[in-house]
């Protein structure tokens, strides 16, 4: 299959119709400034003995729309939603601010993020669902998340991240028509023994990337826990992750996919990816261990763990009702 060369800012497929419908409507070109500088200074100087506030947070809510608004300089996360549609918003912080995130769907259902621009220091969109035994016991998964037509920048983190808080489970994530630039990582999946939970049934399609250090990074040995009271036998399940129709320029590393010993990441599927690698210092554009899956039409050629006969494409997660995302 020949690789299609995408023109900047032009999606490779017709844009999908809006897939999320809510009743309430948001703002009209307003601006909310979190004045985060003082919080960032306190954090850098180790003067904080409590957590930083989020700019917008909804609890025990439904059918909320946030639209036509600009959010600046959040002390930490800009939007922490529950059952919300985010449409036509701009989120920005200084790119050297410490650990600022854009939108963080966390233990929630039915979130839609569309037609927006996010530029932050850490993670532009970060999907989460609870941490270690606390997330396992509460058991509130994140599911049915739709992300489309967004421009993302995350200077020191990932444009679209999953975890590492994922103990309640993450599934049913559909992201398409993304433009990612000037970021440390394009896509990140983070977990570790002791998390439990799962990340599965994720499909990311139709993406343009430019100026990215690592295009795809899946890490299974993060070794980060809130305390020592965790069970290392609680292993996460990472399964049915599909990435397709992507073009990347000025990429240093195509992919780092590192699963867990005796608990590999499975059904990792790559289709029609073309990354232009600019960093010759790396011996290989791909690094893989403890992963299995399928790949086709991927440049540079991926790890041997992802080579499989074409008949194995049936392991890949796809959306039959949405042809732009079907795995070939």
In a domain, 24, yes or no: no
In a domain, 299, yes or no: yes
In a domain, 25, yes or no: no
- How many domains are contained in the chain? 1
42 burial level (CB within 10 Å; 0-12, 13-18, 19+) = middle
Task: Find the CATH number of the domain harbouring 229.
Answer: 2.160.20.10
In a domain, 65, yes or no: yes
d(CA 238, CA 233): 15
Name the residue range of residue 127's domain.
30-281+293-325
The band of 58, judged by pLDDT with boundaries at 50, 70 and 90, is confident
Mean pLDDT, the chain, rounded, equals: 87
Q: How many CB atoms lie within 10 A of CB 309?
A: 7
Give the model's pLDDT for residue 328.
Answer: 35
In a domain, 47, yes or no: yes
d(CA 80, CA 58): 7
Two tokens, residue 225: 């826990």
Nearest to 199 by CA among 160, 223, 164: 164
- pLDDT tens per residue across span 309-325: 544 677 788 865 433 33
The runs of H, that is alpha helices, within the chain are: 37-44, 132-138
Are 259 and 265 spatial neighbours (Cβ–Cβ below 8 Å)?
yes
- pLDDT tens per residue across span 230-282: 899 999 999 999 999 999 999 999 999 999 999 999 999 999 999 999 966 66
In a domain, 16, yes or no: no
In a domain, 126, yes or no: yes
The band of 62, judged by pLDDT with boundaries at 50, 70 and 90, is confident
In a domain, 10, yes or no: no
């Amino acid at each position: 299959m020949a690789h299609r060369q995408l023109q900047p800012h032009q999606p490779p497929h017709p844009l999908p119709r809006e897939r999320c419908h809510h009743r309430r409507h948001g703002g009209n070109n307003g601006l909310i400034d979190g004045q985060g500088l003082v919080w960032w200074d306190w954090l850098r100087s180790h003067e904080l003995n409590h957590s930083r506030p989020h700019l917008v947070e909804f609890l025990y809510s439904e059918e909320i729309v946030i639209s036509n608004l600009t959010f600046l300089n959040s002390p930490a996360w800009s939007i922490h939603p529950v059952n919300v549609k985010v449409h036509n918003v701009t989120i920005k912080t200084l790119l050297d601010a410490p650990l600022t995130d854009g939108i963080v769907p966390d233990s929630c259902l039915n979130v839609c993020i569309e037609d927006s621009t996010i530029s932050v220091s850490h993670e532009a969109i970060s999907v989460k669902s609870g941490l270690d035994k606390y997330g396992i016991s509460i058991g509130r998964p994140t599911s049915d998340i739709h992300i489309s037509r967004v421009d993302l920048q995350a200077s020191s983190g990932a444009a679209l991240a999953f975890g590492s808080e994922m103990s309640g489970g993450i599934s049913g994530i559909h992201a398409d028509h993304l433009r990612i630039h000037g970021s440390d990582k394009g896509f990140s999946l983070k977990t570790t023994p002791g998390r439990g939970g799962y990340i599965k049934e994720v499909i990311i399609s139709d993406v343009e990337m430019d100026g990215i250090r690592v295009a795809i990074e899946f890490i299974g040995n993060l070794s980060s826990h809130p305390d020592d009271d965790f069970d290392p036998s609680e292993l996460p399940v990472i399964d049915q992750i599909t990435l397709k129709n992507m073009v990347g320029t000025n990429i240093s590393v195509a992919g780092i996919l590192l699963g867990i010993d005796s608990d590999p990441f499975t059904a990792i599927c790559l289709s029609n990816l073309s990354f232009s690698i600019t960093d010759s210092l790396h011996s290989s554009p791909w690094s893989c261990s403890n992963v299995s899956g399928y790949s086709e039409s991927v440049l540079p050629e991926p790890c041997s763990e992802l080579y499989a006969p074409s008949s194995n494409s049936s392991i890949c997660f796809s959306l039959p009702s949405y042809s732009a995302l079907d795995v070939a």
